[in-house]
């Protein structure tokens, strides 16, 4: 069953942008995430992407995360879904990310 992707943007303690993702992300739906992460007021400000609710993520999702990481400080808040962790391990990018999978690690 395909789950429609949803993205919610919040501001955490200290003004850190938190983008909460849920559902299925692929080439046809990745723009939802990319547009939510665009911040004209603070394009290089820190960003936390909460991926705990992602039920499917293909290479376009991974590509978007890598591109974001290359433009600003980025952390992933989890726990990482098994499928996403596996794709990140197979492609060798898991170690590129600051992964915060315990409560209280938002920033």
SS3 75: strand
Per-residue pLDDT tens for 66-90?
A: 999 999 899 999 999 999 999 999 9
Residue 14 pLDDT: 77
- 1 lies in a domain? no
Per-residue pLDDT tens for 3-18?
A: 899 999 988 777 788 9
Which helix (DSSP H) or strand (DSSP E) does residue 106 occupy? none
Structural domain count, the chain = 1
> For residue 33, what are the domain limits?
6-100
Q: Which residues contact 6 (CB under 8 A, 6 or more apart)?
A: 21, 22, 23, 32
pTM, 2 dp: 0.88
- 107 lies in a domain? no
Q: Which residues pair with 2 in a beta bridge?
A: none
- 64 lies in a domain? yes
- 105 lies in a domain? no
- 53 close to 47: Cβ distance less than 8 angstroms: no
The CATH number covering residue 18 comes to 3.30.750.24
CA 78 centroid distance within chain: 9
């Amino acid at each position: 069953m395909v789950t429609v992707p949803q993205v919610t943007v919040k501001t955490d303690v200290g003004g850190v942008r938190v983008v909460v993702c849920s559902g299925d992300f692929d080439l046809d739906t990745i723009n939802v995430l990319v547009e939510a992460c665009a911040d004209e007021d603070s394009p290089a400000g820190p960003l936390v992407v909460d991926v705990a609710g992602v039920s499917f993520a293909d290479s376009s999702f991974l590509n978007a995360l890598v591109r974001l990481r290359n433009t600003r400080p980025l952390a992933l808040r989890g726990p990482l879904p098994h499928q996403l962790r596996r794709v990140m391990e197979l492609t060798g990018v898991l170690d590129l990310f600051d992964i915060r999978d315990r409560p209280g690690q938002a920033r």
